[in-house]
């Protein structure tokens, strides 16, 4: 399976997971011009998209979907509690699928799982082609055993590393917004992400992608170092025993090919 994050953060999210025969896009919060430019650079043909999975109805995850559907045609999978947030143009493309149970698209098995977030509903996804497994969880205020069970034993995990707690606390955000981000239904901190990743390495996961970094309360260096240090405490060397990438807002990452 191939994995590539096209964009990550509060200004727009898009990730693509593919096998030889199936291509799945997860969210699209990018305008069509930006998306087309980035997929062109990554050598991805959007005509091959088999389906689009929506995590939740916040605009940074869905605002680019309706314009895309004017140009391309593929089914859109969305939990029924998030559907009220969608542009009406998306409705004709909605797949009739219970998003609380596993299902298949082409040769990829999809396991949706719930994440605690201040949206109507939010889903993480575990995707497997029988050989490799990729798990994706962003926009979650807290980690719990049920989420961990859906991430563990994967070959690659993309996990939110949203903010440095001190940067957020000392920063300019209004008090209520800080409280919202720090709450159990807000966004996951660097520390909580790093702690989870160091536990996941014990289940065999080797590839990690830190995602949905705040532009104001984090830096790619801080997020990376926080996870790197947590791994080092477990005697795991980044770049040798485990690999950590940072998904960016303003450019795509390098495609990761899992064998
Ligand atoms: Zn988001
Ligand atoms: Zn959100």
Q: Does domain 2-257 have CATH number 3.40.630.30?
A: no
CA-based max dimension of the chain: 51
CA atoms of 255 and 259, how far apart (whole Å):
13
Residues 6+ apart with CB under 8 A from 51: 24, 25, 74, 75, 76, 77, 95, 105
Alpha helices of the chain — where are they, by DSSP H?
32-41, 59-62, 65-69, 145-151, 165-170, 175-182, 190-201, 220-233
- pLDDT at position 212: 98
For the beta sheet containing 133-137, the strands, ordered from the edge strand earlier in sequence to the opposite edge, are 103-105, 108-114, 123-128, 133-137, 156-160, 207-211, 243-246
Take residue 19 and report the two structure tokens written for it.
């096998």
- pLDDT at position 18: 98
- pLDDT at position 159: 98
Q: How far is the CA of 232 from the centre of ligand 2 (A)?
A: 31
Residue 83 binned pLDDT confidence (cut-offs 50, 70, 90): very high
- pLDDT at position 259: 82
Mean pLDDT for 1-13 is 98
Q: How far is the CA of 2 from the centre of ligand 1 (A)?
A: 23
Q: How far is the CA of 202 from the centre of ligand 2 (A)?
A: 29
Where are the domains positioned within the chain?
2-257
Ligand nearest to the CA of 10: 1
Ligand nearest to the CA of 121: 2
Q: What is the pLDDT of residues 38-54, one digit of tens each?
A: 999 999 999 999 999 99
Q: How far is the CA of 160 from the centre of ligand 1 (A)?
A: 10
Mean pLDDT for 75-82 is 98
The pLDDT of residue 70 is above 90: no
Q: How far is the CA of 122 from the centre of ligand 2 (A)?
A: 8
Q: How far is the CA of 20 from the centre of ligand 2 (A)?
A: 31
The pLDDT of residue 64 is above 90: yes
Q: How far is the CA of 117 from the centre of ligand 2 (A)?
A: 7
Helices (H) and strands (E) in the chain, counts: 8, 13
CA atoms of 56 and 115, how far apart (whole Å):
10
pTM over 0.85: yes
- pLDDT at position 157: 98
Do 24 and 50 form a contact (C-beta atoms < 8 A)? yes
- Residues of the chain with pLDDT > 90, as a percent, come to 99
Half-sphere exposure of 88 (CA within 13 A, CB side): 0
For 247, left (φ over 0), alpha (ψ -120 to 50), or beta?
A: beta
Q: How far is the CA of 219 from the centre of ligand 1 (A)?
A: 17
CA atoms of 259 and 239, how far apart (whole Å):
18
- pLDDT at position 81: 98
Ligand nearest to the CA of 212: 1
Q: How far is the CA of 119 from the centre of ligand 2 (A)?
A: 6
Q: How far is the CA of 212 from the centre of ligand 1 (A)?
A: 7
φ/ψ of residue 39, rounded to 5: -70, -30
Q: Residue 98, class by beta-carbon neighbours within 10 Å (0-12 exposed, 13-18 middle, 19+ buried)? A: exposed
């Amino acid at each position: 399976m191939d994995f590539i994050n096209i964009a990550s953060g509060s200004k727009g999210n898009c990730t693509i997971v593919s096998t030889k025969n199936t291509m799945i896009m997860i969210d699209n919060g990018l305008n069509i011009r930006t998306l087309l430019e980035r997929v062109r650079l990554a050598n991805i043909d959007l005509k091959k998209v088999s389906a689009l999975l929506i995590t939740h109805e916040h605009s940074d995850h869905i605002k680019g979907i309706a314009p895309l559907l004017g140009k391309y045609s593929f089914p859109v999978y969305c939990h029924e509690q998030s559907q009220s947030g969608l542009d009406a143009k998306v409705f004709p493309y909605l797949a009739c699928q219970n998003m609380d149970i596993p299902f298949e698209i082409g040769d990829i098995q999809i396991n949706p799982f719930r994440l605690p977030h201040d949206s109507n509903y939010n889903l993480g996804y575990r995707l497997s082609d029988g050989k490799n497994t990729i798990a994706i969880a962003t926009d979650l205020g807290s980690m719990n055993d049920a989420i961990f069970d859906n991430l563990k034993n994967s070959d690659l995990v993309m996990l939110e590393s949203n903010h440095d707690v001190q940067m957020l606390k000392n920063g300019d955000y209004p008090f209520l917004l800080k409280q919202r981000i720090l709450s159990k239904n807000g966004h996951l901190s660097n520390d909580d992400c790093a702690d989870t990743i160091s536990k996941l390495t014990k289940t065999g996961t080797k590839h990690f992608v830190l995602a949905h970094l705040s532009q104001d309360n984090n830096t790619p260096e801080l997020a990376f170092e926080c996870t790197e240090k947590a791994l080092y405490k477990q005697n795991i060397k980044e770049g040798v025993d485990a690999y950590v990438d940072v998904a960016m807002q303003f450019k795509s990452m390098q495609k990761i090919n899992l064998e």
